[in-house]
Structure 1
Amino acid sequence: MKETIYINGDVVTVDDNNPEAEAIVVRNGKIIYVGDNSGAMAFKNDKTEVVDLGGKTLLPGFVDGHSHYFMAANTVNFASVAAPPVGTVETIDDIISVLKVDIEAGDYKTGDIVVGWGYDESLLKEGRVPTNKELDKVSTEHPIYIAHASGHKGVANSAFLKKFDINEDSVDPEGGHIGRYPGTKTPNGTLEEQAMMPIMMKLFSSPDQSRLVNNLKAVDKLYAGSGITTAQDGGWMPPSLQLARMADEQGLLKIDVVGYPFVESKDTFGLIDENEIGSYKGHIKMGGAKLILDGSPQAKTAWLSKPYHVAPPGEDETYRGYPFHENDQDVVEVVEECLKRNIQLLTHTNGDQASEQLIACYEKAQKNTGITDDFRPVMIHAQTVRDDQLDRMAQLKMIPSFFQCHTFFWGDWHLDSVLGPERGARISPVCSAIERGITYTLHQDTPVIPPNMIFTLWTAVNRKTRSGRTIGEEQKITVMEAIKGITINGAYQYFEEDTKGTITVGKRADMVVLDKNPVKVAPDDIKDIKVLETIKDGEIIFKA
């Protein structure tokens, strides 16, 4: 029996019935006492470990509302073409240089595919997307593809286009777009959404398993180092599921991971076994299904109800993005399948028209089936969801999981180019959700950005852009509301609120130690708080 007493702490329990404490006791991975020092020390015996927190802050372990855990493992070895603060790229020439260095330093054979991750034209000095001809300057022997920071589009060089038979005769797939030089049918290298996703699926479906297993160690440390004790893999493919189980069997995973296989139609539920949903096997749990309805606003592929503030190159002023599923009935059938089989559905919607499609289809599916049980459906990202839509989401008990850090990373871009001042100020409308009594979660969508939960707290409370502008003052929330979005609400999203999300007697000892209390520091100083330790089931899995 292992027993640990933590004393002299600034304990933020997130338990409304007992919000603050100075000590806790953990036995065999479970919390058995929360209170004052003297009460905790009453449990001490000759085998008890006593940890003096010395005034440091103890919170519940952070729960990731949405990310791509195993995709992050795939991207570890990709060349970083991201802008600061994630990377160093500021120009198209920088991208070319980074890729050349990667090829020279890497173990590439002639013809091997080279992938870069994280470019963002909104942060490039040229203010535009690179072309295939510019990437040809890197290499004409290696197929090259660079993914946009959102993961929803990318640019290929000529060798990559040739390898995957993308040419003048190629047609845009439903839910996708092939960029072309003005006035011609010649591809310019840009591949959006369904024009690139099947290709990326192939690249991710034939990985070097031994390399990925090693990468998982780095990814697990990255998440744990951010205080995360439960993560999500939002979009399982067969290799991801196999890798997850193999990694867990080898003891590589220290945190829990909840996976959601991709579905595209009622006929694509093959990876999902209802008997596996909801139960952990080691650190792995199948949570339900993942559906995508549109792209991303920062890539200007999200499906909006009104035109973009500034249309992307090649599009006219009426451009509103586009859906993944033009036929609503396809979406209705997916929802019906989930309702009939008791499967939680996570749905990616960024644009408000995609949000409308999800809400309307969910309403119709409930009416068609007569099933109104609460399966806690989740609207992933919900960047531009409107107040009238939040009203209906409250009726459906639909959880919005907000990509809150958009306010910093792309806030200026949204205000000036994507959405304009009025719509841009309402991205990630968390306060509007709270006003309606809606349960919400917060996330980083890793590997789009690093899984920095502390930074997410800062963005939710301050809503500052890169340039320092405040974006949507009325959507700011309190520190405790933000903390709930990455703890107890996240646990609720995964049907785990009885075992995780608060420091409460009887729950698992998933906790994080911080150098300062986010509730007590000045709002702008939250971003500077450090994660000192992460504890999973009573065991330290990260120590700074």
Structure 2
Amino acid sequence: MPLLTKQLIASLLVIVIACLGCDRCLGQSADAIFVGGDIITVNDVSPSAEAIAIRDGKIVAVGDRDAVMQTRGPETKIVDLDGQTMLPGFIDGHSHFINALSVANQANVYPPPFGPGDSVDAIVSAVKTLQAEQQFSPGELIMAYGYDDNALPADRKLTAADLDAAFADNPVIVQHVSLHGAVLNSAALKKYAITAETATPPGGIILRKPGTNEPEGLLMETAYLPIFESLEKPKGEALIQAIQRGQQIYAEAGITTSHEGSSTALDVQILNRAATNGELYIDVIAFPFITELDRVLTSFLANQFGKYNQRFKLGGVKITIDGSPQGKTAEFTTPYLTGGPGGEPRWRGEPTFPIETFDGMVKKVYDAGLPLIVHCNGDAAIDHLLAAHEKALGDKKSDDHRTGIIHCQFVRKDQLDKIAEYKLFPSFYTEHTYFFAATHIQNRGLEQASFLSPLKSSLDRGIRFANHTDFNVAPIDQMFVIWSAVNRMSREGEVLDPEQRISAIEAIKAVTIHPAYWCREKDRKGSLEVGKLADFVILDKNPQKVDPIAIKDIRVIKTIKEGVTVFALPNPRRPE
């Protein structure tokens, strides 16, 4: 046989073999190809792309348009982004998903611009509106969320008496914006047996009427926690509807993976049952609270943590060691400049648990081989975590544990050095630079407040981090999270330490690829790469191309979870 003929046959065989193995010849063409807009991959090797193809809920091609179009088949849907911008679906860095199940039935009393709550009268009015809309029966509990005493005049705070005048026949709980406390009216105080004889528990606060032991209405930390944990959850069909509403709140923000950041055993049961019944359309990661861990472990083995049951998994264990800086319950090494919540002099805050107890909790989680996240706001609280980490792990303290520091707001520079050395993972909270800058400056002084959530200093040390809303402490709005990291602008229009601002892409990483790494899901989420889940968010503008001050005004047009649209903005305006 002539040599040329042999070479031709060999070449034809290569083509046939390649064709037999290709996706199109096997009937495995792409389900959809997205083109016609900016595609931000959050992949440093190839930061942008012209097109992306998906099949069976995963990415099968991303990059040059002509190359990606090779995956097109007769049934492939071509999706024109129409000048809009695609990113990986947002991954929640910390919030309280279970609270989303009930906020639809509560009054929003956030201060402006997210609610009406800048006065006692406005708060009472919002609760009265809810009462009229939902026709609460006498004796039925009425709830509100988002109360920020710092947004009210300095000499006027919400009390039980304010609520009693309008709600004589119903117990009312107005939750503090920190989620670490609430103001109760007299009917609610009676319902939960809070009286003048009630002792203030360690780590808790019961604000008393001046000169008496009578409760004034405000309960914080361990004084409120048992009440919060006892609040009734919806059941039956109402629960199914609540779970759907709750997921939609997250999907509207572009979130495809959410966090339930402090779960009871009942919360875990509710979410696991919803997953088993196919009711979850976004992923939910839950972190049982340390005091609930033994109850959770009666139903889940330790080796089930980190594994999805459909769209639900246990991500680790949550411990809280201090409170909130705006509520003056975060623990610091130096006193608050304005005293304690009840005017206590030289107040530094207190740990939630005795330090010996906390150390034992940390060791228990590590000994069980479980991931750990710890709520730490003040620098003293962060000291406690670092010390407990060192005691529990010894020579292994710098191994890959990815222990999360939730909030980590008032971290010091020397603490950042240890966080980098130990490979800990902060989930920062830069929205405080907007919502509470003035309060923090008043309580802690300008120098300490300016170093709040120091993202740039963390980047300089090679620290990976997330950024979060702590919903429903703040509204769940990932574009506002990105905006706050890029601008660090206060409600008053002042920039809180411009040296800590970061670029738009670094801020995007804090709600995509970094939390994916933290949750040990970087191989399947957080960036637009072949083989990863087709989790996308489509925005009306590119955060890297608009004026940084306009990032907060960018809208989520569509949220896609594993190729399925779970939110679409009705009649979106074409981009300018």
Question: Is the Cα–Cα contact under 8 Å of residues 458 and 526 in structure 1 kept in the other structure?
Answer: yes
Q: Per-residue deviation at 1:316?
A: 3.4
2:382 alignment partner, one of 338, 346, 355: 355
Which moved further from structure 2: 46-55 or 102-111? Answer: 102-111
C-alpha separation between the residues in 2 aligned to 1:503 and 1:538? 13
- The amino acid of 2:337's aligned partner reads H
Counterpart secondary structure, 1:461? helix
Unaligned runs of 5+ in 2: 1-27, 570-576
Instruction: Return the offset for 1:266.
Output: 8.2
Whether the 8 Å contact between 2:107 and 2:126 is mirrored in structure 1 is yes
What does residue range 121-520 of structure 1 map to in structure 2 within 5 Å? 121-125=149-153, 128-204=156-232, 206-264=233-291, 270=297, 273-312=301-340, 314-326=342-354, 328-367=355-394, 373-415=399-441, 417-520=442-545
User: Cα–Cα, structure 1 residues 266 and 51, in superposed 2: closer, same or farther, change >3 Å?
Assistant: closer
For the 8 Å contact 2:430–2:484, the answer to whether it is kept is yes
Q: Residue 271 of structure 2 aligns to which amino acid in structure 1?
A: A
Q: Which amino acid aligns with 2:88?
A: P
**What is the percent sequence identity of the aligned residues?**
40
What is the distance in 2 between the residues matched to 1:313 and 1:261?
Answer: 29
Contact 2:433/2:452, CA 8 A, preserved across alignment: yes
State the secondary structure of the residue aligned to 1:211.
helix
Q: Secondary structure of 1:338's match?
A: helix
Once residues 341 and 358 of structure 2 are traced to their aligned partners in structure 1, the CA distance between those partners, rounded to angstroms, is 30
Cα distance, 1:142 vs structure 2: 1.5
Further displaced range: 428-437 or 123-132: 123-132
Distance 2:103 2:293 in 1: 30
- Paired residues of 1:440 and 1:489 also in contact (CA < 8 A): yes
Retained in 2: the 8 A contact 1:499–1:507?
yes
Residue pair 1:345, 1:377 contacting (<8 A) in 2 also:
yes
Alignment RMSD:
1.8
Shift of 1:370: 5.6
Aligned ranges 1:10-21 → 2 under 5 Å: 10-21=38-49
TM superposition shift of 1:268: 6.6
> In the TM superposition, what whole-angstrom CA distance separates every residue of 1:390-434 from its partner, at most 9, and x where no partner exists?
11111211100011211111112212x222211111111111111
SS of match in other structure, 2:302: coil
2:144 aligned with 1:119: no
Find the residue that maps to 1:76 and give its secondary structure.
Answer: helix
Q: Please, which moves more after superposition, 14-23 or 160-169? A: 160-169
Query: Could you say what secondary structure the match of 1:366 adopts?
Result: helix
TM-score between the two structures when normalised by the length of structure 1: 0.95
Q: Deviations over 1:211-236 (max 9, x none)?
A: 23212222211211111111100111
Deviation, 1:107, is: 3.6
Name the aligned partner's letter for residue 221 of structure 2: E
Give the Cα–Cα distance (whole angstroms) in 2 for the partners of residues 354 and 80 of structure 1. Answer: 30
Instruction: Summarize deviations over 1:312-358 as a string: whole Å, max 9, x none.
Output: 453233011111012x2212222212222210001111111111111
Distance in 1, matches of 2:353 and 2:296, equals 17
Structure 1 residue matching 2:256: 3-state secondary structure: strand
Give distance in 2, aligned partners of 1:362 and 1:198: 28
Give the C-alpha shift of residue 127 in structure 1.
5.1
Count how many residue pairs are aligned between Structure 1 and Structure 2.
540
Question: Which of 532, 535, 556 is matched with 1:531 structurally?
Answer: 556
Shift of residue 201, structure 1, vs aligned partner? 0.4
Query: After superposition, what is the alpha-carbon deviation per residue over 1:7-55, rounded to whole angstroms, capped at 9, x for unaligned?
Result: 2221111111111111111111111111111111122111111112233
Comparing 479-488 and 93-102, the one that deviates more? 93-102
Contact 2:161 2:185 in 1 (8 A): yes
2:340–2:349 CA contact under 8 A, matched in 1: no
What's the counterpart of residue 69 of structure 1?
Answer: 97
Q: Which residue of 1 aligns with 2:117?
A: 89
- Mean CA deviation greater in 314-323 or 298-307: 314-323
Is the contact made by 1:91 and 1:125 (CA closer than 8 Å) also made in structure 2? yes
Contact 2:328 2:341 in 1 (8 A): no
Question: 2:17 — aligned with what?
Answer: none
Q: Determine the C-alpha separation between the residues in 1 that align with 2:446 and 2:418.
A: 25
Task: Give the whole-Å Cα distance in 1 for the aligned partners of 2:362 and 2:95.
Answer: 22
Cα displacement (A) at 1:245:
2.5
Counterpart in 1 of 2:63?
35
The match for 2:52 is: 24
What is the distance in 2 between the residues matched to 1:534 and 1:329?
45
TM-score for both structures, normalised by structure 2: 0.90
The secondary structure found in structure 2 opposite 1:541 is: strand
- Distance in 2 of aligned mates of 1:79 and 1:104: 11
The 1-side partners of 2:378 and 2:397 are apart by: 27
Per-residue deviation, 1:242 = 2.2
| Cα distance between partner residues in 1 of 2:285 and 2:183 | 31
Displacement of 1:96 in angstroms is 2.0
Q: Kindly indicate whether the alpha-carbon contact (under 8 Å) linking 2:265 and 2:296 is maintained by their aligned counterparts in 1.
A: no
State the AA in 1 paired with 2:46.
N
Instruction: Tell me the secondary structure at the aligned position of residue 219 of structure 2.
Output: strand
* Aligned partners of 2:409 and 2:428 also within 8 Å: yes
The one-character-per-residue Cα deviations of 1:166-209 (angstroms, maximum 9, x if unpaired) are 112111111101111122211111101100110110014x5444
Tell me if the contact between 1:263 and 1:290 (Cα under 8 Å) persists in the aligned partners.
yes
Whether the 8 Å contact between 1:7 and 1:53 is mirrored in structure 2 is yes
Secondary structure of 1:460's aligned partner: helix
CA offset digits 1:246-275 (Å, max 9, x no partner): 333443321111111011498676465312
Amino acid at match of 1:449: A
Moved more, 12-21 or 241-250: 241-250
- In the alignment, the residues of structure 1 paired with residue 482 and residue 556 of structure 2 have an alpha-carbon distance, to the nearest angstrom, of 13
1:92-114 Cα offsets, whole Å, 9 max, x none, are 11222222332233242222222
For the residue of structure 2 that corresponds to 1:362, the secondary structure is: helix
User: Post-superposition shift, 1:243?
Assistant: 1.9
CA distance in structure 1 between the aligned counterparts of 2:55 and 2:323, rounded to whole angstroms: 46
- Hey, what's the Cα distance between the residues in 1 that align with 2:341 and 2:390? 36
User: Is 1:8–1:37's contact at 8 Å kept on the other side of the alignment?
Assistant: no
Q: Is the 8 A contact 2:97 2:258 kept in 1?
A: yes
Q: Contact (CA 8 Å) 1:10, 1:22: kept in 2 or not?
A: yes
- The alignment partner of 1:54 has SS state of coil
Query: Structure 1: how far apart are the matches of 2:559 and 2:241?
Result: 21
C-alpha distance in 1, partners of 2:362/2:349?
23
